Amino acid sequence: MENLEIIREKILHPDELERALMRWHLKGRKIVFTNGCFDLLHLGHVDYLSKAKDLGDILIVGVNTDKSVKMLGKGDNRPITDENSRAMIMASLHFVDAVVLFHEETPYNLIKTVQPDVLVKGSDYRVEDVVGYDIVKSKGGEVVSIDLLPGYSTTSIEQKIKRG
C-alpha cells in the first residue's frame, strides 16, 4: 500500500499543482511539460517520456480525461483504459514527477498554469503547431520535438487486438 500512496501523491489537482510549481520554481528547477492520452502504455510512450525528462529537472505530464479523449475523436472504443488508470500508470514511472488530468480538448489552459521552461511533443507535430507554443516562446522557453519510436502506437496495438 505504501508504494501506491507514493504513486497517488504524484497525481496533482490544480491547487496541489500550483503549490508544487511554486516549490520547484523557488528551487530553480527546469520544468518540462508534455501531454497525451497515454492509452495502453507501450514502449513508444516510455521512450518518449524518458527523453522528455532528460530535457529538465521536473517532468509534468498532462493526461487527457476520458471526456477529453472522446472529444479528440480517436474512436468509439477509446479510451481503452479509464483516466484514473492512465494517471496511475503514468505516475508509476520513476521519471515522471507529476501527473495532471485535464478535461479540455487541448492542454492550453494547463500550459498557461504550468508555464514550462520546455514544452515537448512528438515529431508527428510541427513545433510551431504545438498547443502552447506561444506561451512557452513568449517567456523565453523552448518547444522541443522528440522523434517517436517507429512501430509503436496505441492505435496499432488496438488494431492488432481486433484482428485476433
- Tracing cell 511533443 back to the chain, one arrives at 121
Round to whole Å and give the CA distance between 29 and 142: 15
Number of H helices and E strands in the chain, helices first, is 8, 5
Q: Are strands 118-122 and 98-102 parallel, antiparallel or unpaired?
A: unpaired
Render pLDDT for 106-115 as a digit per residue (tens, 0 to 9).
999 999 999 9
Sorted by where each starts, the structural domains of the chain and their CATH numbers stand as 2-163 (3.40.50.620)
Render pLDDT for 21-78 as a digit per residue (tens, 0 to 9).
999 999 999 999 999 999 888 999 999 999 999 999 999 999 999 999 988 877 777 8
H-helix or E-strand containing 78?
Answer: none
> What's the chain's average pLDDT?
92
Question: Both ends of the chain: CA-CA distance in Å?
Answer: 36
Round to whole Å and give the CA distance between 137 and 131: 11
Round to whole Å and give the CA distance between 156 and 89: 20
* Cα-to-chain-centroid distance, residue 132: 13
The amino acid occupying position 71 is M
Residues present in the chain in total: 164
